[in-house]
Structure 1
């Protein structure tokens, strides 16, 4: 009997996750059955259950991978020297992630999947834990990024680094939601909009 290679196992797992992601993005988690997933990926129940005991396990794997892709892209960009300013950083990374066809999905479809995953974390403790872990790591990385802005002498604000990091994360989340709801949200729009807001002059209130 021929030995099954790790490459084959990885490819089969990828096939299942990508097919399930297409189903979930199209019909939502609760309206998608395991039979729908099996039909989409073209595999038997035994072949799929060898990798994932049930639908919730597939959802958890997609959640972990999807959040990891987004988090990793921002962490990699934040390590650049000198660090890109928030307008360039957010536009560059979000544009790259959405155009990267994660799970083979079009940008708007992928964004819609991300929003669905976020909503699932409100009812599923396992998914909530995955999101919390990823958010904590990203929040820490972006706090370091803000500190790097200060060290480079390009940030004069005395606002807490963590507060600014959370604001940038919120901007990224909002961009993804807009793409999911309306589509065709170009990264250049985000970059130009943030650059304009960053140029605003603050006035002291007497």
Structure 2
């Protein structure tokens, strides 16, 4: 029997995550079954369960994929010039999320984590990943802008991060629910509302 390479395993995982993402975005987390994901992927149940223990683990992998892409965008933008201001950091993250075709999945993820203790741990891990990315970007900007903050840049960034991260769900929920929500105005206001 030929040996399966790690690259093949990763490609198969990505294929399964893609199928789960499509299912979650059209049916929602609660109404999506593992049978739906199996059918969408075109793979066998054994192929799916060989990579993921179940729907909750897949849901966490979907969120990780979306947020990892946002972190990569932030890092790419940072390489283009000086440290990004907090407003630029948040606008970059939120703009990337709104361009994600399956961004509504994140709203579902937050809601599930609020009521399901089993979902809370994997969501907390994803949130910790995003929180550290944002905190580091804020601290880098504060260190490059002496006198702009009232304390140590790392301490200041640690205090601002949870407040700024609250802007992401606010954007996503309003975008999903409010018919008159002006996405561009929201993103433009971030540069004014947060230190720049």
C-alpha distance in structure 1 between counterparts of 2:8 and 2:194, whole Å? 49
1:96 is aligned to 96
1:39 is aligned to 39
TM-score, structure 2 normalization: 0.75
1:19 is displaced (CA, Å) by 0.7
Residue 173 of structure 2 is aligned to residue 177 of structure 1: yes
- Report if the CA contact (8 A) 1:75-1:141 is conserved: no
1:23 is aligned to 23
- Report if the CA contact (8 A) 1:34-1:55 is conserved: yes
2:188 is aligned to 192
TM-score, structure 1 normalization: 0.72
C-alpha distance in structure 2 between counterparts of 1:46 and 1:72, whole Å? 32
SS of structure 1 residue aligned to 2:31: coil
C-alpha distance in structure 2 between counterparts of 1:127 and 1:78, whole Å? 32
**Distance of aligned partners of 1:77 and 1:176 in 2 relative to their CA distance in 1, 3 Å threshold:** farther
Ranges in structure 1 where 5+ consecutive residues have no aligned partner:
200-206
Residue 123 of structure 2 is aligned to residue 131 of structure 1: yes
Alignment of 1:5-84 (within 5 A): 5-71=5-71, 73-74=73-74, 82-84=82-84
1:114 is displaced (CA, Å) by 0.5
2:144 is aligned to 152
**Cα-Cα RMSD:** 3.3
1:20 is displaced (CA, Å) by 1.2
- Report if the CA contact (8 A) 2:109-2:123 is conserved: no
1:124 is displaced (CA, Å) by 3.0
C-alpha distance in structure 2 between counterparts of 1:174 and 1:74, whole Å? 20
Ranges in structure 2 where 5+ consecutive residues have no aligned partner:
none
- Report if the CA contact (8 A) 2:91-2:190 is conserved: no
| Aligned residues between the structures | 191
Which of 148, 154, 161 is matched with 1:165 structurally?
A: 161
1:154 is displaced (CA, Å) by 6.7
C-alpha distance in structure 2 between counterparts of 1:121 and 1:189, whole Å? 29
- Report if the CA contact (8 A) 2:23-2:32 is conserved: yes
- Report if the CA contact (8 A) 2:71-2:93 is conserved: no
